[in-house]
Structure 1
């Protein structure tokens, strides 16, 4: 338990709302699950989203659901801070007939840049209103938020293609999509111009809403169980090679939260002067009124082969430094410290208040012995004057933690 707790504490800035770093004091927070508006005050319509960074600007592509499920537009918005968005263009619009005609399905548009052809390439799910065609469509443009030219659709290597995504690994592009007939998640390598499928790179167990990211030498692949518009506990797997063996699938959000009541759509790296943070981008679908579906974006912690998110109500991102911080409005930096795997809280055993009282994990109950404050000295304080402490200033692995009167020590 102690080693896991120390790992948790080392990631507090990303995973627990225990106060704000000074750099974020003036930042406007991201508020998952609320109505997000653009610079004109209109609700952002960009569902099933993908975000592409070009220079210092982020471009958000997604489905316009103002008229329901039938295709209307693929919209593009721009932002430099990932919080304030400006509508730029309907980059793909409804046509009088064909794949983009009335009563058609166009979902999950994602865009990558092909440096060798100087072309932005979009892939998307193309279907009939009954979801009987199950195809992948391609469109291209010379400018990121310009008007895209639709190039047609097909079944990749003859396979079904429903929920999809793109991943660019250096200059090699991969397209991934759910194959309903074979109950698989297929990963395809694209041709050098990214306009067609070149080969099947891997086949994995069936998940929809796929999204991939690489951190260090590890590839992370996220996906959703098949529950329609309803949310579930999404899963992830890891590998050292896209074409190699993948790990078993496991949850990355607190158990029972249904992935913070959302479905995976993309993973966005944010790189700045202080390093790279990762953001989980999800959709909270409202099947009755799709235009009112909400965006659930949360900081994503990637460490080794482990991934986790917590369900925060507010957080901030600094695109210049690549850092994120969690906001707890109405508090002075006080919160519980909840284990992602156990969903239990860091607890002073038996609610003891004496120096030397042991620390353990216990069911979260709102007790004062589970309420921790990150003070200005960066100490974790309980009961107002007792600090989380390593006894005898030990640095040995396995040392049990306790509380002690705050004294400013490095322990």
Structure 2
């Protein structure tokens, strides 16, 4: 009898242990490379452009735009992750077949919020007619589950009169829901209070920057202070972003203050995500580097994620970093410290340059007059064996040897064709390919702009000698 009881007890304990551990494992810190096109756990591109994130249980759910080749609406996609790097595709939660109104629509900047009173997940988005931007309407869809199929509720102009374009949502600590959208041809930014079920507009709360010509709003609260982060209205092209603060959503709000550099590191605001862990709450800027700004489409867009820092309770700053390390367990978010160098050819005094500031894989490296451009700056990222990857500042792609041609390609830790040794001789360096043992070389010792940079047998020529500039 005792033996049977012991066996039964052991089985019960084993079953209990299995149930406890059946959920997602504790997420380990992960490093995300900036300015790249993310892939999901199946290796497919993550299409969550213009999106937002909501945390449900142990998972972060990321919603965003997945468009057709002509940039018209195809899906709102949903992904989930415990660590903010490894994203599992979950569902096309809203599709062009979901309602007759969606068949010819353009849907932008979907944001999802959870209503604790109704138990519903509510999606707000910007809706156009698929041809131009004349409709300027807000739209709503709802679902019983976070990544289930969302049911279209229709589109409208807030309070029956206001244009509504770029959009975000926010649930305050008291459970009140808010929607922010660009109005009056993007010249105003309206803050609306939502109805109790979050599916309608109850009132216009504030119009703080009348005539400011702002779009791409992101709203969050830190320590009792509301922050509104926005971009200027320059279409797909990035610009100087700004922020303002208030202690009440109704205001008064401060004037807008610049943040980041003049193009916000080639990106536009999508969302600000609080990462709350066991020891800290960090705030992560999620931005889009729109494919349309470099000759592609929305689905060619890249992601720029940067830690936000707060010098005081009402000030905010953001700096470039090529990589962000995120620890969702503790809430810590930090950037990688990186020094960028130019490579100046001794014989010509010209810089190694990614042609035409291209963001595309396969773009050639050529020499050009040194001009301080980010397409002439490289992070010598250490890898194993004393070698380096040369990651370009403007595109976050890596310099790669292809036969003798040198191009920028998606970085791969295992590709020896992207690994280079640096040997110092006097005041100059030779940059040598690990794969071939050949030297980085200006073809034919040319002194002309646009001369190709290749790899060639190391021979001591001045066209193989480089200065690492700052």
Structures share fold, TM-score greater than 0.5: yes
Instruction: Tell me the residue number matched to 1:36.
Output: 38
| Greater RCO structure (CA 8 Å; 6+ sep) | 1
Structure 2 Cα separation of the partners of residues 280 and 111 of structure 1: 17
- The answer to whether the 8 A contact 1:48-1:63 is kept is yes
Cα offsets for 1:348-381 (capped at 9, x unmatched): xxxxxxxxxxxxxxxxxxxxxxxxxxxxxxxxxx
Match of 1:179 among 162, 176, 183: 183
Instruction: Tell me the residue number matched to 2:253.
Output: 246
Q: Secondary structure at the match of 2:264?
A: helix
Aligned length: 303
Structure 2 Cα separation of the partners of residues 96 and 216 of structure 1: 40
Instruction: Tell me the residue number matched to 2:415.
Output: none
Structure 2 Cα separation of the partners of residues 99 and 236 of structure 1: 35
Cα offsets for 1:202-256 (capped at 9, x unmatched): 0022310001000001000011101000000110000010012000101121x33
Over the aligned positions, Cα root-mean-square deviation in angstroms equals: 1.6
- The answer to whether the 8 A contact 1:119-1:141 is kept is yes
Q: Where do 5+ consecutive residues of structure 1 fail to align?
A: 1-25, 332-411
Is 1:163 the equivalent of 2:166?
yes
Q: Highest CA radius of gyration, 1 or 2?
A: 2
- The answer to whether the 8 A contact 2:98-2:151 is kept is no
- The answer to whether the 8 A contact 1:99-1:126 is kept is no
- The answer to whether the 8 A contact 1:124-1:164 is kept is yes
Structure 1 Cα separation of the partners of residues 29 and 280 of structure 2: 19
- The answer to whether the 8 A contact 1:47-1:65 is kept is no
Instruction: Tell me the residue number matched to 1:285.
Output: 290
Instruction: Tell me the residue number matched to 2:200.
Output: 196
Instruction: Tell me the residue number matched to 1:119.
Output: 120
- The answer to whether the 8 A contact 2:286-2:306 is kept is yes
Instruction: Tell me the residue number matched to 1:307.
Output: 316
The CA deviation at 1:93 is 0.4
The CA deviation at 1:275 is 1.3
Instruction: Tell me the residue number matched to 2:241.
Output: 234
Structure 2 Cα separation of the partners of residues 198 and 96 of structure 1: 27
Rate the CA distance shift 1:118–1:27 in 2: closer, same or farther, 3 A. closer
Structure 1 Cα separation of the partners of residues 153 and 202 of structure 2: 17
1:206-245 aligned at under 5 Å gives the runs: 206-245=213-252
The CA deviation at 1:330 is 9.6
Is 1:272 the equivalent of 2:277?
yes
The CA deviation at 1:329 is 6.9
Structure 1 Cα separation of the partners of residues 139 and 52 of structure 2: 15
The CA deviation at 1:289 is 2.2
Cα offsets for 1:8-28 (capped at 9, x unmatched): xxxxxxxxxxxxxxxxxx844
Instruction: Tell me the residue number matched to 1:131.
Output: 133
Structure 2 Cα separation of the partners of residues 91 and 203 of structure 1: 32
Structure 1 Cα separation of the partners of residues 121 and 177 of structure 2: 12
- The answer to whether the 8 A contact 2:165-2:186 is kept is no
